[in-house]
Structure 1
Amino acid sequence: MQKIKQLREATGAGIIDCKNALKQSGDNVEKAIEILRKQGIAKSAKRGERDASEGIIKVAVSEQNNEGYIAEINSETDFVARNAEFQKFSEQIIELIKNSCQSDKPSNLDELFAMVMGNNKIVKENLDNLSGVIGEKLNISKFNVLKGSTVADYLHLGGKIGVLVALDKENEKDLAVNIAMQIAASDPKYINSEDVSNEEIEKEKRIYKEQLLKQGKPENIIDKILQGKINKYFEEVCLVKQEYIKDDKKKVENILGNIKVTGFIRYSLA
């Protein structure tokens, strides 16, 4: 039943369809998602990528705008995520990461948990103490640092979505913020189409071909349709190919011009 529930959450398909897909896939959830997509029952696997944990995402950028920081701090309920003490602790964590010396910056969660905070207690001890006071399990699940010539941050939905983006040109803060907003809203997987693996492209082609055959499309025109489908796929998953959210007559690549996005990080609790 757990796999059926997982599959339903990932695809929105009905119980019977999920049972049949799991049976065909040998109880493999990923293969079952692909089967449902081929049948046109599941239009996208995106729902399964959502993180159901509650909490908050915090972001910050260095004074020079060349380094950004992002962290996800979790609670069991949204009520606690809005708690003033939890919010204060979360802000202290992102500031701790930001203000630590370059040589002392944590490279993993264990190092972050061992860092000393302003009250001379380590992060893990403060987290456990706060958990005891609030009465819920709390955790810092992940964090990251992003460098670039210009780095901007953006928070959406009150800290449910957080983004960092890096550009290859200095002093482009306004542009970088707009691109970060784009990433928050459109959730791209890649920067451009060259980043998509051949394996993924072939997988999508197989799925689209199955759908087209079920629709009764003749074999001799399927290849032409497939290329159009792949181009549409790139527009969905590749940042620079997406419609720009502030002007849908333009693509993100038109807004960037000669400036390149060198990296981005998007955390989501939504």
Structure 2
Amino acid sequence: MSKQISAEYVKELRDKTGAGMMDCKKALQASDGNIELAIENLRKKGLAVADKKSTRTATEGIIESYIHAGSRIGVLVEVNCETDFVARRVEFHRLAKDIAMQIAACPSVSYISLDSINQDIIINETRIESEKEDLINKPKDIKDKIISGRIQKRLKEKSLLSQPFIKNPDISVEELIKQNIALLGENIKVRRFEKFLLGEGLVKKVNDFRSDVKNIINKG
């Protein structure tokens, strides 16, 4: 006989995972009311569902924006889904806003995923690492292993999907998207983004007050 689970408990699990009410109830019953185990099982199930949908075409969606406090950092991001219906869902808008906020909070992020990083970048990073002084006297096999580990770490720092989600560091941005794929039932992709930093690329003029006063006096 299935264990009786209260509606409040089911709602709590739904709020934490975004999964459907019946899925939450079944997950709690299967875990004897252990909410952490239920979350883990739902996450595994959600990721499996998301993987099946990841090859489906996503051409609808929205362009979301985020302006950080102080208006010195701004982000535009395009997030795609399969239908206009899902594009209007509040959960989809919330996801797009969270992704835009994530980009603003990660100064090193320049690419969507590891797969989107240009091979020339990887070759150059590898060359720089291989020439570092602390590796010069290392045996080749150990040196190669250290370089590989450092490069992977560096590339993950540049990849949006590899970042720990700022609102829940226990999951990555990629896992966050997959959870929403399971919730909304459609493939979801981050297609592109652009970050704007106030004054970026401009040469800031430094005023020399003494020189200005001297010039005014001389002209007089």
TM-score w.r.t. length of structure 1: 0.43
Report what 2:105 is aligned to.
Answer: 185
The CA deviation at 1:218 is 2.6
Local SS of the residue matching 2:138: coil
Distance (Å, rounded) in 2 between the aligned partners of 1:212 and 1:253: 35
> Contact conserved, 1:151 with 1:173, CA < 8 A, in 2?
no
Which structure would you say has the larger Rg?
A: 2
CA contact (8 A) 1:205 1:226 kept: yes
Q: Check 1:232–1:151 CA distance in 2 against 1; reply closer, same or farther (3 A cut).
A: same
- TM-fit CA distance, 1:238: 0.9
Query: What residue identity is the alignment partner of 1:159?
Result: S
Q: C-alpha distance in 2, partners of 1:186/1:216?
A: 35
Q: Distance in 2 between matches of 1:228 and 1:248?
A: 22
CA displacement 1:145-188 (0-9 Å, x = unmatched): xx961221111132100011111121310001001010001031
Residue type at the aligned position of 1:268: L
1:67 match: none
Contact 2:135-2:143 within 8 A present in 1 as well = no
User: Which of 80, 91, 116 is equivalent to 1:195?
Assistant: 116
Equivalent position of 1:152 in the other structure: 64
Does residue 1:266 correspond to 2:178, yes or no? no
Structure 2 distance, partners of 1:185, 1:215, is: 36
- Could you give the per-residue CA deviations for residues 104-156 of structure 1, whole angstroms, max 9, x where no partner exists? xxxxxxxxxxxxxxxxxxxxxxxxxxxxxxxxxxxxxxxxxxx9612211111
Pairing partner for 1:247 from 141, 151, 168: 168
Residue number in structure 1 paired with 2:140 = 219
Distance 1:226 1:214 in 2: 9
Whether contact under 8 Å (1:151, 1:164) holds in the other structure is yes
Q: Normalized per residue, which structure has more helix? A: 2
Output one character per residue of 1:215-259: Cα deviation in whole Å (capped at 9) or x when no partner: 743322111222211211122111101121122222110101142
Question: CA offsets per residue over residues 181-218 of structure 1, 9 Å max, x none?
Answer: 10001031111112111111010011111226457433
Higher strand residue share? 1
User: How many pairs align?
Assistant: 124
Q: Which structure carries more relative contact order (alpha carbon 8 Å, separation 6+)? A: 2
Structure 2 segments unaligned to the other structure (5+ residues): 1-58, 82-86, 182-187, 200-220
- Identical aligned pairs, as a percentage? 36
Q: Normalising to structure 2: TM-score of the pair?
A: 0.52
User: 150, 164, 167: which is aligned to 1:229?
Assistant: 150
